[in-house]
A and B are shown apart, each in its own frame.
Chain A
Amino acid sequence: MVGTDSAASLQCRHVTTTGPAPASFGGPADPSDLPEEVLPVRDLGSRTRPGRRSWPAVVVSSAMTVLLLVTLNFLLPRAMPGGPVEAQLSLGTSNPVEVDTRQRLEEYYGLDRSLPAQYWSYLGDLARGDLGLSIRHNVPVTELLLARLPWTVLLVGSAMAVAALVGLIAGIHSGWRRGSLADQGLLAGFMAVSSIPPFFLGSVAVFLFAVKLDWFPLAGARTTFAASSGPLAQVLDVAYHLVLPAAVLALTFLLTLYLVMRSTMVGELGSDYLLLGRAKGLLERRLKYRYAARNALLPVVTELALLLGVAVPIAIFVEEVFAYPGLGRLLAESAFARDYPTMQGCFLLLSLLVVVLNLVADLVNARLDPRVRG
């Protein structure tokens, strides 16, 4: 009885409440359809809003983006004044470079060949996973990237878990008691916090919790000589170092999750199935969590996947503040130190990560949302 009831209402929901209202704001893939678009969401991951595109279209579009990124990665350093050789030569040397050296370097890097030939060999190198040698660290860039990637995944993953938990619970409460003091307080609080840029929020967190209160470590991902301790102690050490950076990263996109959950929850409020549930005398708690919250969850799932793509770039700032050894910090460091091969490798990996996450979000959305599934 209850099962069919909620299944029917689930079907109904898509027709009545989330169907974009008047024609003037309709149109396919109109981003202003979605509630969170109403509030500021940082456009860093450049979210491809899951419109109603079929999955082959989404895959083709993502593949084109990857091609564009790979090409930009090739063209940008060559289009800039000076070029890669100039940049390398200016590193650490104050003497004017002889013409001879320049020629030999250009030959070495293949820069004397035609642009298409260079592009072709660049693609070949990419396919083999060869991203060149880091100037600063003098090891293959691929090796550096692989060492840094797990930390970024750990940081972004745990931040997302925290943000999901807090954002959803707060959103459910706010939506259910819309307009109440608690609702308005939460809304104002999340808005204020999300206006603080993560590089400053991180610094505040370090100052308060690592320096003044001395609860957490100042920076880094683990204690320097922790490798000598047991496995459990090591895990705890990593978790202990993770708390502050993950919390700061979570706070920066909590607002989005909270708002989506809140507004879809509000959309459920007047539904027939809730009225029926009330008439049957169901507990308020049961109505709130088992009925309304469950039905309101779909847009949130998509939003979660999308936010992962936003979180990866924001993590650059968080990693920099906490000296967390992830990909973002490597990108910032190598950009600052003009270690161009490393910078380009980082850029490529980070942006591919974002594109793939967005693609996954689109595909998940296509799977879950009956309007897209057709």
Chain B
Amino acid sequence: MNGDRAVTDVERAPTRSAPTWRSPLIVAGATIVLGLTLAAVLAPVLAPYDPTAVAGPSLQAPSARHLLGTNDVGQDILSQLVWGTRVSLSVALLAPLLAVVLGVLVGVGAGLVGGMVDRVVTRVLDVLLAVPVLPLLIVVAALVRSGRTVAILAIGLLGWPRLARVVRSQTLTLRRRGFVASAHGFGGGPLYVIRRHLGPALGPLIALRFVDLASVSIFLESGLAFLGLGDPHAVSWGNMLNRALGRQGLYYSPLWAWWVLPAGLAISVAILGFALLLVGLEPVFNPRWRRSR
């Protein structure tokens, strides 16, 4: 096998330079996410109109007064677009947070306790992981019929098992490592081990899962709203799509370009931002990646 490796290294294409924080992927992703955050925070300043108020005649084409025109009830579409950032970003922040808290608690718990508890948790996780998320979300959204809180809770609750499994297996391997055993030997309690050893080792892994879940959450929230199962009173990108696409003859009017397109692009760009961050951060955080590429 060793000879095999040596040949391999000679044959390989020149390896890329060591990954850094300044990779174009991270810069692009961070720019998008920061831009969206700014838009969300500054929404009252940036938006020219109140997104829920009737700001002009309905279905106006883009003009100097309404840069993206108005929708069917005369609301300013640009203002809705800007305010919609708040919904998507708050879901992207809170749903993964819930999933991470649950996933880390269960994962680290099972990994540290081990034995019977760990075996049971692993079985339960296997069962939960096989539950299809989207159909269940649709059913819950249809039954509950209320706003964003439910979407956040549901997405968060459905997202944690995968995280728990990754955290658990990582905890398990860390626990067997020498430095953890020696910390135990010198009288370090479980809290000390978690703070000094598990935390730093699990941090990057959890951060990556968080970013991943953020883009999934944006996708799911806007998808539910697109299906007409979101909070009907919220000003969100998914609701804009739902309202626009539900209109008869939409495709044969010029409406599509300024009503559907901006909302759809906003969702895509938000998802892309987190996806770029994820791909860029992976090599920085994951030492194995550095070695194998």
Give A residues with C-beta under 8 Å from B.
Answer: 12, 15-16, 21-32, 38-40, 42-49, 53, 61-62, 64-65, 68-69, 72-73, 76-77, 80-81, 178-179, 191-192, 194-197, 199-200, 203-204, 206-207, 210-211, 218, 269-272, 274-275, 309, 312-314, 316-317, 320-321, 331-332, 335-336, 338, 340, 343-344, 346-347, 350-351, 354-355, 358
Nearest Cβ distance between residue B135 and chain A, in whole angstroms?
5
Cβ A196 vs Cβ B268 within 8 A: yes
In angstroms, Cα B287 to Cα A47, docked, is 25
Residue of A65, A178, A211 contacting most chain B CB atoms (<10 Å): A65
Closest beta carbon of chain A to B160's beta carbon, Å:
11
Q: A31-B162, A270-B8, A338-B142 are in contact. Are A200 and B267 (CB under 8 A)?
A: yes
CA distance A308 to B164 in the complex (A): 24
Identity of the chain B residue whose Cβ is nearest the Cβ of A12 in the assembled complex = B4
Main DSSP-derived SS at the B contact region = helix
Given contacts A46-B132, A80-B143, A336-B229, is CB(A16)–CB(B241) below 8 Å?
A: no
Q: Is the CB of B139 within 8 A of A199?
A: no
Task: Report the separation of the CA atoms of residues A68 and B216 in the bound assembly, to the nearest whole angstrom.
Answer: 24
Which stretch, B47-55, B63-71, B167-175, B185-193, touches the partner chain A? B167-175
In Å, the complex CA distance between A344 and B269 comes to: 34
A275 surroundings in chain B (CB, below 8 A): 7, 11
In the complex formed, the residue of B with least CB distance to A309 is B132
Asked if residues A195 and B268 are in contact (CB atoms below 8 Å), the reply is: yes
Is B131 in contact with A347, judged by CB distance below 8 angstroms? no
The 9 closest A-B pairs by CB, nearest first: A200-B264, A270-B8, A335-B142, A27-B169, A195-B272, A313-B134, A65-B130, A354-B132, A80-B143
A46-B130, A335-B229 known; A26 vs B173 contact (CB < 8 Å): yes
Question: Once the chains bind, are B131 and A65 in contact (CB under 8 Å)?
Answer: yes
In the complex, per-residue mask of B93-135: 1 if CB is within 8 Å of any chain A CB, else 0:
0000000000000000000000000000001001111111111
Contact B133 A61 (CB under 8 A): no
B228 touches A336 (CB 8 A): yes
Q: Is the CB of B133 within 8 A of A44?
A: yes
Is B195 part of the binding interface, using a Cβ–Cβ cutoff of 8 Å? no
Contacts of B226 in A (CB 8 A): 199, 317, 320
Q: 9 new A-B pairs (CB below 8 Å) besides A22-B287, A269-B13?
A: A24-B287, A32-B205, A42-B216, A53-B126, A72-B136, A76-B143, A211-B252, A313-B132, A355-B132
Query: Which residue in chain B gives the minimum CB-CB distance to A24?
Result: B173
**Measured between alpha carbons, how far is A301 from B267 in the docked complex, in Å?**
32
Q: Assess A31 versus B260: contact at CB under 8 Å? Given A192-B272, A199-B226.
A: no
Contact B131 A46 (CB under 8 A): yes
Q: Are A270 and B245 in contact (CB under 8 A)?
A: no
Residues of B near A192 (CB, < 8 A) are 272
Q: B274 contacts which chain A residues (CB < 8 A)?
A: 40
Set of chain A residues within 8 Å of B275, measured between Cβ atoms:
39-40, 191, 194-195
A204 to B161, CA, bound (A): 34
Least Cβ–Cβ distance between B279 and chain A, in angstroms: 6
- Pick the contact of A351 from B8, B135, B162, B245 — CB < 8 Å? B135
Give the distance in Å from the alpha carbon of A179 to the alpha carbon of B260 in the complex.
37
The CA-CA distance from A336 to B132 in the complex, in Å, is 19
Q: How many A-B residue pairs have CB under 8 A?
A: 229
Give the chain A neighbours of B264 by CB distance below 8 A: 196-197, 200, 203-204
Task: Tell which of B138, B143, B219, B282 touches A42, judged by Cβ atoms closer than 8 Å.
Answer: B219
The main secondary structure of chain A at its interface with chain B is helix
Residues in chain A near residue B215, CB distance under 8 A = 40, 195
Q: Are B165 and A38 neighbours in the complex by a CB distance under 8 Å? A: no
B21 at the interface (CB under 8 A from A): no
A29 near B278 (CB under 8 angstroms)? no
The reply to whether B174 and A24 form a contact with Cβ atoms under 8 Å apart is yes
Chain A contacts of B128 at CB under 8 A? 65, 68
Decide yes or no: A61 and B256 within 8 Å by CB, A30-B169, A76-B139, A335-B139 being known contacts: no
A73 to B136, CA, bound (A): 9
**B-chain residues with CB within 8 Å of residue A73 when the two chains form the complex:** 139
A347-B174 in contact (CB<8A): no
B140, CB-defined interface residue at 8 Å: yes
Report the separation of the CA atoms of residues A270 and B229 in the bound assembly, to the nearest whole angstrom: 51
Report the bound CA distance from A179 to B13 in whole Å: 8
**Once the chains bind, are B132 and A21 in contact (CB under 8 Å)?**
no
Q: How far is the CB of A180 from chain B (nearest CB, A)?
A: 9
**Is B223 an interface residue when CB atoms closer than 8 A count as contact?**
yes
Q: How far is the CB of B226 from chain A (nearest CB, A)?
A: 5
Any chain A CB within 8 A of the CB of B45? no
Q: Which residue of A lies closest to B8 (CB)?
A: A270
Q: How far is the CA of A77 from the CA of B16 in the complex (A)?
A: 54
Question: Which single member of B177, B223, B251, B279 contacts A218 (CB below 8 Å)?
Answer: B251
CB-CB under 8 A for A313 and B133, given A27-B173, A61-B126, A335-B141: yes
Name the residue on B nearest A67 (C-beta). Answer: B127
Contacts of A316 in B (CB 8 A): 134-135, 138, 227
In the complex, B291 has a CB within 8 A of chain A: yes
Partner of B172, one of A12, A27, A178, A270: A27
